[in-house]
Structure 1
Amino acid sequence: MEMVSTSTSPFSCKVCGQKAHGNHFGVISCRACAAFFRRTASSKWSKMKCRGGSCDQETYSCKPCRLQKCREMGMDTTKFQYSRETIPETGQFQLPPPSIESYVGRPEFLLFCDTDAPNTKVLIDVRYLLEEAGRILNHGSRTPSYGDSQLKKLTQGFKYIKLDMDNLKQVEYAAQKEIMELWEYYFLTVTKWLQYFDEFQKLNRHLQMTLLQSIWHVFQKLHKYVGTMFYRKANPYAKPTHVIIKDVFMDVKNVQFDSSWMSDYPPQDVMKYLMVQSCHDFDIIGALQELDPSDLELTYLFAQLCFEYAGKRYQGDILKVTESFQEILANDLHHYYVEEMNRPRYGLRLAKLMKINNAIQKAIWESRPKMELGRVFNVLKIDFSHPEMFEDSGYY
C-alpha cells in the first residue's frame, strides 16, 4: 500500500482531552502527554503527592497529579513503541510483536492515505479500541450490579441505551471524523453495558472480545431505531426523515455526506450502498411506538438480538455460549411477565418484540450478496487491522 499523506486523528487524548496523536505507552494520547510521561515515568515525581493539595487537573500544573492521571489511564513504560518511544530502564526488555506500523513504516494508530489513485486503500488500525475495551473489562462496571435476576442487572446498564433528550446535538455534515466517532462510541458503549451481565463476566477474555467485536454494530442498528422512537415519542410532529444516531439528531434528507475518504464513488451512490442493510419492508420505529416497551423489555431486545446474531455468525463454542445467555434472559423475562406484571399470556407481545429483531437480522443476511458485489467493484476503499470487527457492519 502506497502511503502518500498523513491524516491526524479525530480522537481525544485520554489524559488531557486534546486531539490525540497516536497510541503512546498503551494509551491513545497527544504528543505532549506522551513526552511528559516519557520524561517523568521514572523521575522523582513518580513518588511524590499533589504539590498543592487541590490540583487543577484541567491545566495539570502539578506534575505528580498529571503523572498519576497518565498511569490511571493505563500508560506503562513496558508498552512503548520500539525504536520510537524509548525510555531508560534497568534490566532487560523484550521486543513487542510485529505490528502494522512495523510493516508499513508508519508509527501511527490510524493510518490514512489520501490520493486520487482509484486503487489506493485507506488503512484503519483499530487496535486502540480493543485495548480500551480491555481496560474497561479490567475495571468492571462503574456502579455495583444488583438485582434478583440477570436481566434486571443488565437493565442497570440501560443508561447506555436510553436517549438523553436534553443533550441532543444536531448534525448537518458527516465525514470521516463523525463516522469514526460512531464506531468508537458504540464499541465502547457495548463493552460498558455488558459489564452488568454476570454471565458475560465469567467468560475468558478471548470469548469476551470475540463477542464484542461481532455485536457492536448490530447493537448500533437497533439503537438507531430505539433512539429515533424516543425522539418521535417526545416530538409528535417529527418528520419521517428525522433520525437519531448516538446522541445526534439529523435530517437524512438534508445532511451533507463527505465520503471521499472512504470511496471514489459519488456520495449519493455511497450513501445508498451503506443503507443496503436498512429495513424497508417493516416499520420498526412504528412497531416500537405501538408496543411502548419498558426498560427491561428493551434491554432484553438488545441482548437477544446481539447474542442470536453472534451465535449464528460464529457457531461452535460461541453458539453454545450465546444460547445459554438467551435461555437465562428468556427465563428472567418470563418471570417478569408472569410474577411482576401478572401477564401470563404474553406470547403475542413477545412475538411482536421478536419481529423487530428478526427484521434487523433478515436485512443483514440479505445484504451480504450486495456487500460482496460492492467489494468486487471496490465501492469502499477501506482496509481494517481487524476486519472481523467490521463484518456485516456495512463498511467491510
Structure 2
Amino acid sequence: MDIVSTSTSQPICRICNKKANGNHFGVISCRACAIFFRRTTGSKWSKMKCLGGSCDHKKNYCKPCRLQKCQDVGMETTKFQYNRDHITSTAQFQLPPTSIERYVGRPGFFLFCDTDASSTKVRVDVRFLLEEALRILNSGSESPVYAENQLKKFSLGFKFIQLKIDKLKKMKLADQQETFDKWEHYFITVTKWMMYFDEFQKLSRHLQMTLLQSIWHIWQRLHIYVSTYTYRKVFPFNGSSRLVIRDMYMDTDSACIDSKWMSDYPVEHVMKYLSVQSFQTFDFIGALDEINPTEVELTFLFAQLCFEYAGKRYQGDILKVTDSFQKILANDLHHYYVDDMNRPRYSLRLTKLLKINNAIQRAIWESRPKMELGKVFNVLKIQFSHPEMFEDSGYY
C-alpha cells in the first residue's frame, strides 16, 4: 500500500547513511540495503570476516562488513516489511511495530487484502504466507521422526489430521476474515504435515513449494469431509447439516454468510457457485462409516489424493515425483495390511477407500467448465498474487 509522505525531512538509512525509503526487516533503510540483506543473509558472506581488514564503517563496506552492519542495527528476516515504498513522517517510524502480530492486532500470519477504488477486483497477497512456509521447510520437522517405513513415519503426522472434538467452536459468521483464516490454517498445516515424509524433504525447494501450492486446498477438502464424519459419529443427533472446518463447526442451514467482499452477486448465487465442486451423489459419510479407516489408512488416503491430483495437474517432473511417492506408500500399505492387520486380501477394502478420493477428483474435473463460465460472468472479484495456488480451489 502506497502512503504519501507528509514530512519535508528525509529519514536516513541506518546502514549506508543515504536517503531511506521505508522500514525494511525492522529497520529504517534504503531499498538497496534491504535487497542486499535479503540476498546475503544466510549466504557465505555471513560466515566471513572483513575482506580488507580496514573497512571505513562510515563510507565503504565490504560485503561481510555491510551484512554485519545490517545485523548490528537490528535487521532480521523474521521482521516482515511494511510501508516499504514511501515514508510518512519521521515521528511515525520512531516506534515501529515489533512484529506482524502487533501490527495487525492478532496472532498468526494472514493474507493481505487490499481494494483499489479504480478497480472492482479485490487483491489478495499471499507472499507472507509463502515466506512462512519456506521458513518451516528450512527449519525441518518439529521433532525427530522414527518408524519402520515411510507410511508409518507419515502417519506420525496424524495429529494434523485428527479432529479435536473438545476444542471445537461454533462458526457464527463466515466472512472475509474467516475465509482468510481458513486458507492460512490449511496451507500451514499441510506444510507441517508434509515434513513427516522423507521423500518430500529430498526435493528441491522449488518442487516442494510447487507441490504445497497445488495440494493444500484438496487436502483441505478431504479434511473437512473426514472431520465432519468424525463429528457426526460422536454427535449423531445434532443433525446432518453441520460441517466441520478446521477447529469450528458450521450449521449450513442457519450460518450467516458474508460474500460481499468477494462478489457483487447475491449471497445465494455465490454459495451455489462455490458448491459446484461438492459431492452430488456420493455419500462420503456412508463410505467412511462402512470402512471405519485407521490412522495409517487415513494418512495413505490423504497422501494418495494429494499426489494423484498434483501429478495429473502438472505432468512432467511433478508426475514422476508423485508417482514414485505413491509407489513407496502403496508398498508400505501392503505390508501394513499383511503384517499388522493380518489382512492379505485387502483389495476390496482399498477399493472402497479410494472411491472417496476418486469422487473428490471427479467433482473437481467436472466443475472446471462451470468455474470457467463463472470467470466470464465475473462471479468472483478476487485477484491473487499467486493464482496458481488457488487453481481448482473454487475461488479462482
CA distance in 2: counterparts of 1:188 and 1:37, whole angstroms: 31
Report deviation, 1:25: 4.8
Number of residue pairs matched by the alignment? 315
Give the corresponding residue for 2:79.
75
**Residue 199 (1) aligns with residue 199 (2):** yes
Structure 1 ranges of 4+ moved more than 3 A: 23-26, 34-38, 70-73, 79-86
CA distance in 2: counterparts of 1:199 and 1:176, whole angstroms: 36
Structure 1, unaligned runs of 5 or more? 4-22, 27-33, 39-66, 87-107
Report deviation, 1:72: 8.5
Give the corresponding residue for 2:260.
260
Question: Normalising by structure 1, what TM-score?
Answer: 0.75
Which protein has the larger Cα radius of gyration, Structure 1 or Structure 2? Answer: 2
CA distance in 2: counterparts of 1:203 and 1:353, whole angstroms: 28
Map 1:3-14 → 2, pairs under 5 A = none
Give the corresponding residue for 1:236.
236
User: What secondary structure is seen at the aligned counterpart in 2 of 1:144?
Assistant: coil
Report deviation, 1:112: 1.7
Residues 372-381 or 226-235, more deviating = 226-235
Asked if the contact 1:218/1:393 (under 8 Å) is kept, the reply is yes
Map 1:163-312 → 2, pairs under 5 A = 163-312=163-312
Change (3 A) 1:82 1:174: closer
Give the corresponding residue for 1:49.
none
Opposite residue 260 of structure 1, the aligned amino acid is K
Change (3 A) 1:263 1:153: same
Question: Normalising by structure 2, what TM-score?
Answer: 0.75
Opposite residue 389 of structure 2, the aligned amino acid is M
Give the corresponding residue for 1:13.
none
CA distance in 2: counterparts of 1:376 and 1:152, whole angstroms: 46
Map 1:1-396 → 2, pairs under 5 A = 25=24, 34=26, 74-75=78-79, 82-84=84-86, 110-113=112-115, 120-396=120-396
Q: Can you list the C-alpha shifts for 1:153-180, whole angstroms capped at 9, x where unaligned?
A: 1111110001001100101211000001
Change (3 A) 1:141 1:374: same
Change (3 A) 1:342 1:259: same
Structure 2, unaligned runs of 5 or more? 3-21, 31-70, 89-109
Report deviation, 1:289: 1.5
Opposite residue 174 of structure 2, the aligned amino acid is A
Report deviation, 1:111: 3.9
CA distance in 2: counterparts of 1:222 and 1:256, whole angstroms: 23
CA distance in 1: counterparts of 2:28 and 2:372, whole angstroms: 46
CA distance in 1: counterparts of 2:240 and 2:166, whole angstroms: 21
Change (3 A) 1:109 1:254: closer
Asked if the contact 1:24/1:75 (under 8 Å) is kept, the reply is no
User: What secondary structure is seen at the aligned counterpart in 1 of 2:263?
Assistant: coil
Change (3 A) 1:24 1:175: farther
Report deviation, 1:75: 3.0
Q: Can you list the C-alpha shifts for 1:57-105, whole angstroms capped at 9, x where unaligned?
A: xxxxxxxxxx9xx9888238xx78754589xxxxxxxxxxxxxxxxxxx
Asked if the contact 2:24/2:84 (under 8 Å) is kept, the reply is no
Opposite residue 374 of structure 1, the aligned amino acid is G
Q: Can you list the C-alpha shifts for 1:264-322, whole angstroms capped at 9, x where unaligned?
A: 00001101111110011100121111211000000000000000000000000000000
Change (3 A) 1:291 1:109: closer
Opposite residue 287 of structure 2, the aligned amino acid is A
CA distance in 2: counterparts of 1:155 and 1:191, whole angstroms: 15
CA distance in 2: counterparts of 1:71 and 1:363, whole angstroms: 47
Opposite residue 293 of structure 1, the aligned amino acid is P
Change (3 A) 1:251 1:365: same
Q: Can you list the C-alpha shifts for 1:193-229, whole angstroms capped at 9, x where unaligned?
A: 0000000000000000000000000000000000001
CA distance in 1: counterparts of 2:344 and 2:325, whole angstroms: 22
